[in-house]
Structure 1
Amino acid sequence: MLRLVLAVLFSGALSLPASADVSIKRLFGKEQRALNAIPQTHLVSLLERSKAAKVSSGGITYSRDWLAGQPKQSGGREWRCLAEALYFEARGESVKGQFAVAEVILNRVSSASYPDTICGVVHQGTGRKYACQFTYTCDGHAEVIAEPRAFERVGKIAKLTMKSAKRPLTKGATHYHTKAVSPYWADKFPRTATIGFHHFYKQPSRLSRN
């Protein structure tokens, strides 16, 4: 936000007389020090809010402030499967990134190439070595919800995604991976979006299952 202010000030400063140069430098020096003094977490929050995007149907805003104002959610087995997948797969992501991962799971449910339930998609291949679709279901670690506030947030996202008629963020993506890895299929599938720490891809129709 302050960077935007600085940019506006700088563009205006170009037309000022030379006598104003010292004052401008002092102003920019103060603004830069003020910017450096703001905690990184607060800057991220400001950035997220400034980029908040809305879904045309449903009025979803991808920001923590908006999500915090939504009622706490609960649900049945399908809701639980989606909420747990978001918690273990994407709780460190931005709100927008978490919605994007939720979209991928729902996109798979809608695809003939995958199970037709959320729990079926999330647990597809679980128990078979190297065959699970979501790492947390077969990494050998106990699935413990140790951060209840984070789970409350993803629980809201799960419910909102399940209720939404549109999934606009990932353009039909059925796959995603973190930027830290490069799975073999990433060169074969068209990338549809990059959000936060993840790249998103849509499985070509000529391919069946991965």
Structure 2
Amino acid sequence: MRKLIAAGAAAVALAAPAGAEFASDPAQHLMRIERDALETVSRDRLQRLMRAAAEADEDVVRVSYDGDWLAGQAAPDGGAEWKCLSEALYFEARGESVRGQFAVAEVILNRVESSVFPDTVCGVIEQGTGELYQCQFTYTCDGAAETIHEPEAWAQVGKVARAMIDGAPRALTDGATHYHTKHVSPRWAGVYPRTATIGVHHFYRKPVRVSSN
């Protein structure tokens, strides 16, 4: 390595114009050149990282849990998963605040990601449907017709559903997989840790069973 540096330094010295600052110490000048080159590489890398971060930031769904933010969102639409989530929010939480509606949506999407529930939005919502009051979401098995009577409420929950499916952060319920209204007390409420209370709902997270092996 010393020979290479010395040879390089000599080449720099030979190529230097007469009276150049580094003519008397070409090795030091070569080190300065190498340092400047490294700084340039570092700056280029930093710029690339900043550009990548900016591009990734553009994909982040930014949410404000209020009506003004929702009012500024485009009219929602989507496929079956969006429709299922919108219906669940309409029948389960249309009377709740925007924050409360997002919280219910979090529970549904948290279940989708859990290994103990179906792996689609519609599958989670329709789980147990078919027997009266034996389902996960009461509106799907209470025997009442599922009719949308409030178009404004439907438009609002549709925007909430769209934002959540598009990747809005789940920052309200700390991974909750269950919820219930305050006027009922299901048996699991005394076992599962409560993670949040928003509006008329308490939220809980199903404990993860850890293998003893």
- Scaled by the length of structure 2, the TM-score of the pair is 0.69
Say whether 1:204 aligns with 2:207: yes
Count of aligned pairs between the two proteins: 151
C-alpha offsets along residues 126-149 of structure 1, whole Å, 9 cap, x if unaligned?
A: 012432000000000000000011
Task: Provide runs of 4+ in structure 1 moved above 4 Å.
Answer: none
Q: 1:190 aligns with which of 186, 189, 193?
A: 193
Residue 91 of structure 1 is matched in structure 2 by: 94
Structure 2 CA distance for aligned equivalents of residues 162 and 127 of structure 1: 26
Distance 1:113 1:79 in 2: 22
Distance 1:83 1:182 in 2: 26
The one-letter amino acid of 1:193's match is: A
Q: Please, which moves more after superposition, 99-108 or 130-139?
A: 130-139
1: CA distance, partners of 2:67 / 2:175? 24
Q: CA deviation at 1:76?
A: 0.4
How far apart in 2 are the matches of 1:79 and 1:134? 16
- Which consecutive residues of structure 1, in runs of 5 or more, have no partner in the other structure? 1-56
Mind listing any 5+ residue stretches in structure 2 that lack a counterpart? 1-59
User: Which letter does structure 2 place at the counterpart of 1:184?
Assistant: R
Instruction: Decide which structure has the larger Cα Rg and report it.
Output: 2
Residue 165 of structure 1, CA deviation = 5.4
Q: Cα deviations across residues 14-67 of structure 1 (Å, max 9, x unaligned)?
A: xxxxxxxxxxxxxxxxxxxxxxxxxxxxxxxxxxxxxxxxxxx52200001111
Deviation at 1:157, TM superposition (A): 0.3
1:106 alignment counterpart: 109
Give the SS at the match of 1:192.
strand
> SS of 1:75's equivalent?
coil
Amino acid of the structure 1 residue aligned with 2:146 = E
Aligned partner of 1:141: which letter? A
Aligned to 2:175: 172
Which of 58, 80, 85 aligns to 1:82? It is: 85
For residue 58 of structure 1, what is the aligned residue in structure 2? 61
Question: What's the counterpart of residue 121 of structure 1?
Answer: 124
RMSD (Å), alpha carbons: 1.2
Letter in 1 for 2:167: S
Instruction: Determine helix, strand or coil for the equivalent of 1:149.
Output: helix
Query: Bigger CA drift: 156-165 or 144-153?
Result: 156-165
Task: Tell me the distance in 2 between the aligned counterparts of 1:100 and 1:166.
Answer: 11
Report SS of the residue matched to 2:95. coil
The alpha carbon displacement at 1:160 in A equals 0.2
1:81-123 C-alpha deviation (Å, 9 max, x unpaired): 0000000000000000000000000000000000000000000
Cα distance change of structure 1 residues 158 and 191 upon mapping to structure 2, 3 Å threshold: same
Aligned twin of 1:138: 141
One-letter amino acid of the counterpart of residue 183, structure 1: P
Provide the rounded CA distance (Å) in 2 between the counterparts of 1:111 and 1:69: 32
Which AA in structure 1 matches 2:196?
A
Is 2:133–2:142's contact at 8 Å kept on the other side of the alignment?
no
Query: TM-score if structure 1 supplies the norm length?
Result: 0.70
